[in-house]
Amino acid sequence: MLSIFKKKDLKDVKRTGLDSSVSSDELMNEKENSVDEEIHTELFVHPSWKLSNEDSYVLRFLNNELPPLKANQLSISGIELNLAEGGIEATAFVRNSLNKGIRFSDIGLILLDSKNEIIARHNFDLSSIGELPGKSSLPWKFLFPANSIKKSEFSKENWTLAFELKAKHALDLDPNWESALPQEEKDKLVKLVDSLQPPKDGEVNFMGLQARFNENGDLHVTILIRNGNEKNINLQQIPLKIEDATNELVAQGGFKLENFEVKANTTKPWTFVFPKELVQKDNPDFSNWRASIAQ
């Protein structure tokens, strides 16, 4: 039976990683009545791990040395960090201070060095863990693949493995909209953005908000531009097409934009005007319409 630790002499095993904690409410929308007490987590070994007596002893010893948690916390305590075939392997305790068990699914983790600089960032499917019991501490191995590594040289001491909390997808208003819109309309837009499923990571999509013709026959469409990236994006030109409820083309045209930025993880509304000559359908059915990039 192979040891889960890299050191040959288990007497030399010590934690080289630090601790990081987040609110269970922030990460998983799980919260219990707050109690001002220190919570010590008991070692829980996953049934799939077949440990030697030596490994079990070392894990119990390391777990007993962990600092207590507060109520409503999820924590990661680093044990070992090693180069592995295909990437970097971090061994750590995943800890739960809730009274009840929790189940992880797709979770973003970030690996930091002693200067809090990013070594690697990766999304892990942790459904295979199953349920992490209440007030427990689970040892687990996390392999950061080569394509997730941002820094090739780093110390194996005082590193941190942490849950990556993503900011809530929010409304991003252009300054002109900010000053022109009544507060009631702003509140409606905030409520709408909050009610929508955020775009997927790295995705940019468009959602039709309002379509109307003016007295000259020009088509005005207000669209939500939704940025699922972790970085701001700048759009210089958008080839846009509008289709109505019957999936028929209503209008198509290209729009040049100047200094048009959509901030990271935000939705920005904007109105595009199709001149009458670009409108290709009379009396479109706007009961259900969509905007998309023209190919």
Task: State the pLDDT at residue 3.
Answer: 59
Within this chain, do residues 70 and 122 fall inside the same structural domain, yes or no? yes
Task: Report the CATH number at residue 209.
Answer: 2.60.40
Q: CA dist 109 to 63, 85, 119, 125, 173, Å?
A: 21, 19, 11, 11, 30
Q: Round to whole Å and give the CA distance between 278 and 194.
A: 34
Q: Round to whole Å and give the CA distance between 67 and 124.
A: 25
**Segments forming the whole domain that contains residue 212:** 170-293
Within this chain, do residues 58 and 194 fall inside the same structural domain, yes or no? no
Least confident of 9-18, 199-208, 240-249: 9-18
Q: Round to whole Å and give the CA distance between 136 and 96.
A: 6
Last residue of a domain, one of 114, 147, 163: 163
Within this chain, do residues 251 and 114 fall inside the same structural domain, yes or no? no
Q: What is the mean pLDDT of residues 73-101?
A: 95
Within this chain, do residues 67 and 191 fall inside the same structural domain, yes or no? no
Last residue of a domain, one of 138, 163, 188: 163
Query: Percentage of residues in the chain with pLDDT exceeding 70?
Result: 96
Express each pLDDT in 244-278 by its tens digit.
999 999 999 999 999 999 999 999 999 999 999 99
Helix or strand or coil: residue 36?
coil
Express each pLDDT in 104-128 by its tens digit.
988 899 999 999 999 999 999 999 8
Within this chain, do residues 19 and 111 fall inside the same structural domain, yes or no? yes
Q: Give a yes or no: residue 3 inside a domain.
A: no
- Among 74, 127, 131, 71, which Cα is nearest to 101's? 131
CB 293 within 8 A of CB 254: no
Last residue of a domain, one of 137, 163, 189: 163
The total of structural domains in the chain comes to 2
Q: Is the pTM of this model over 0.75?
A: no
Average pLDDT, the chain: 91
Within this chain, do residues 176 and 260 fall inside the same structural domain, yes or no? yes
Q: Give a yes or no: residue 190 inside a domain.
A: yes
Within this chain, do residues 157 and 283 fall inside the same structural domain, yes or no? no
Q: Give a yes or no: residue 187 inside a domain.
A: yes
